[in-house]
Structures are given as C-alpha cells and as structure tokens.
C-alpha cells in the first residue's frame, strides 16, 4: 500500500509539474499578440535612444509621458471588456469630458474635491448605464447608440459650458492633487494609479466571474443565455465599467492639465488612439477573447511613438503616418498569429 501511495504522489507531482510548465507556455501563448507588440515597443525604444540619446536617456521625457499616458491606460482597459463582449463604445472620450466638466464645475463652486471626484465617477457611470440600456433593452447597435451619445455629450458640454475654460490651478499642492497627480521623488503618481487600474482590470478579466461571463457572452451569446448567464446585465456592466473609468480619467486629465477646456476636434484623435491601443494590443473585434496586458502595452507603444517621432526631429505631421504604420504592422502580425 505505501508503494501505491508513493506512486500516486509521484503521479500527482508529475501532473502538477506538467501543469506549471504548461502554465508558462500557456501564458506565452495567450499573450503572444501582446508580447509581440511589447517586442516592437522595445525595438522602437532602442531606435529612439540610438537616434536621440540625449533626449531618450533623460528622465524628463519619461516624466512627461508618465503624466499623460495614464489617462489613455485608464480609458483603454475597460474598453477591452466591451469589445470582448462583441460591442463597442465610441462615446468614452465625450463621457470623460462630460465627467471632467462636472468635476471642474463642482470643485470650482467650492465643494470638497474628493466628493466632486465621486460625482464625476457617478456621472460617467450613469452615461455608461444609459449606453448599456440603449444596447440591451432598446436593442440599438452599440456603434450607433454610442455615436449618438458622443454627439449628445459633446453638444451638452459645449452648450452648457459655453466653451469657457475652468482653470483648476488652485488645486495644486492640495492633498487631493498630491494623491492623484503629485510626485513621489520625480515619479508622477498618475502612473501608479494607471498600474492600480491595470491590476484591477487584470483581476476582473482573468480571475473573476465577470471576466469569464464577458468572454462567454462575446464568444457564444445563445449558449451563454442557455447556460444561465444574465447576458443583458453582463453587457450593461461592461458599459458601466467604461463609464466609471471615464469619470476617473476625466479627473486625472483635469489634474494633469490643470484646466477644463472642451477642445472641439481633439477628442476624436484621443478616441482613435485609445481604440488603436486596444486593437494593436491583441484584442480582436470578433469577441470572446482579449488581453488587458496587451491594451496596456498598446497604449504605451502609441504614446512613445508619438513622442519619439517628434523628438527624433520629424515634424508633428509625421506622427499620424508612423502611428498608422505601427497599427497596420501590428494588426498584420496578429493575423499571422491567428492562422498558426
């Protein structure tokens, strides 16, 4: 009997070892797309450093990037959930501006900034909830519903604020500012919040029932419904999650640029850059699969490319050309990964 037990233990241990080995290869396999973008990112960084070592070996450029990059990261991560559920949200930048307006107007009126931030997040979540209801209850296609919401919010903010900027410089050096936009040494705190957002999104997507449900719903809607997943609730929650992120990103944006100013036109560029981050990170539009880590790397790559091109001595007009090139190359490489 002890021999048998020993044999069984050895078998179990072997199985465990194989599983852990498989765990590493599985991780590499699951994140193949994200990792390939990461390799492109590293190569690009090396090229930038070789081309312009003075700039790219100086911490100031990284400080500047780490102040603005978190806004894109916070926006991109929840979008993965919506896209994996086979929907899309094109209203998120307008929602962010709307939430920022709520934050700026209330904080200027003398309200406690922490309370104002909560209000901004609630406002963002409410817009997300309305988007979700339009899609799952009324049955509108998400691309159309959220385009409508984008115009509605842009008009509302422009009309409501009279396109008058609200300066937020009075917040500098307050405990609130230091919590969300201060520095630890020379390191911008915003980036820590971006990493917190990354960890939350990864936990939800990879280890929580919500992530599991989202993937199943995007993969096979009918089957998910038959298996008892509340498809409507799951999809609505994904839109609400984007809304919450819009509220938080709005506040981060206000604290980073120290003003609220609804610039017509520029939101579309940000929207496309954030969506591109998700796609080049390796989340396809076909639903069912996606990668949070990929979206994070995608956002970093695009932001560094933008800075790198300008710092490499090319004019700003070339930025979009190279961004487009990187996006097309990344998507083409994903296609090859898929067919393997």
Q: Which residues bind another protein (CB under 8 A)?
A: 19, 22, 26, 203, 207-210, 212-213, 215-216, 219-220, 222-224, 226-229, 288-289
CB of 260 to another protein, least distance (A): 36
Closer Cβ to another protein, 10 or 286, answer by number: 286
Instruction: Tell me if 80 sits within 8 A of 205, measured CB to CB.
Output: yes
Closer Cβ to another protein, 220 or 259, answer by number: 220
Closer Cβ to another protein, 24 or 164, answer by number: 24
Closer Cβ to another protein, 10 or 20, answer by number: 20
Three-state secondary-structure class, residue 260? strand
| Residue 1 to residues 4, 5, 7, 8, 240, Cα–Cα distance (Å) | 5, 6, 10, 11, 58
CB of 9 to another protein, least distance (A): 16
Other CB atoms within a 10 A radius of the CB of residue 286 amount to 12
Closer Cβ to another protein, 26 or 59, answer by number: 26
Closer Cβ to another protein, 25 or 162, answer by number: 25
CB of 288 to another protein, least distance (A): 4
DSSP class of 204: I
CB of 286 to another protein, least distance (A): 9
CA-CA-CA-CA torsion sign (24, 29, 34, 36): positive
Report d(CA 123, CA 247) in Å as an integer: 7
CB of 230 to another protein, least distance (A): 9
CB neighbour list of residue 171: distance below 8 Å, 6 or more residues apart:
107, 113, 177, 255, 258
Closer Cβ to another protein, 26 or 263, answer by number: 26
Q: CA nearest 74: which of 192, 248, 205? A: 248
Tokens of 97: 């501006």
Q: CA nearest 85: which of 266, 278, 321, 299? A: 278
CB of 59 to another protein, least distance (A): 38
CB of 23 to another protein, least distance (A): 9
Containing 187, the helix (H) or strand (E) segment is strand 187-188
């Amino acid at each position: 009997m002890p021999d048998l037990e020993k044999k069984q233990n050895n078998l179990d241990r072997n199985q465990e070892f194989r599983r852990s080995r498989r765990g590493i290869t599985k991780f590499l396999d699951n994140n193949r797309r994200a990792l390939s973008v990461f390799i492109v990112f590293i190569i690009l960084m090396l090229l930038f450093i070789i081309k312009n070592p003075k700039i790219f070996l100086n911490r100031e450029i990284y400080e500047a990037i780490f102040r603005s990059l978190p806004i894109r990261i916070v926006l991109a991560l929840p979008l993965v959930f919506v896209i994996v559920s086979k929907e899309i949200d094109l209203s998120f930048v307008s929602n962010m501006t709307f939430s920022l307006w709520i934050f700026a107007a209330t904080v200027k009126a003398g309200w406690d900034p922490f309370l104002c931030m909560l209000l901004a997040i609630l406002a963002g979540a409410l817009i997300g909830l309305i988007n979700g209801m339009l899609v799952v209850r009324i049955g509108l296609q998400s691309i159309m519903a959220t385009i409508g919401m984008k115009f509605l919010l842009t008009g509302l903010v422009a009309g409501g604020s009279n396109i008058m900027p609200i300066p937020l410089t009075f917040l500098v050096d307050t405990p609130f500012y230091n919590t969300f936009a201060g520095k630890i040494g020379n390191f911008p705190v915003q980036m820590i919040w971006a990493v917190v957002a990354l960890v939350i999104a990864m936990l939800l997507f990879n280890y929580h029932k919500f992530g599991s449900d989202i993937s199943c719903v995007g993969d096979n809607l009918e089957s998910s419904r038959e298996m008892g997943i509340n498809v409507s609730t799951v999809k609505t929650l994904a839109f609400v999650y984007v809304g919450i992120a819009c509220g938080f990103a709005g506040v981060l944006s206000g604290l980073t640029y120290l003003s609220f100013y609804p610039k017509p036109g520029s939101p579309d560029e940000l929207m496309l850059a954030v969506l591109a981050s998700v796609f080049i990170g390796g989340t396809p539009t076909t639903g069912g699969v996606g990668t949070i880590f990929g979206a994070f790397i995608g956002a970093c790559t695009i932001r560094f490319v933008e800075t790198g091109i300008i710092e490499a001595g090319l004019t700003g007009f070339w930025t979009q050309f190279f961004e487009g090139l990187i996006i097309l190359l990344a998507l083409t490489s994903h296609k090859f990964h898929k067919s393997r």
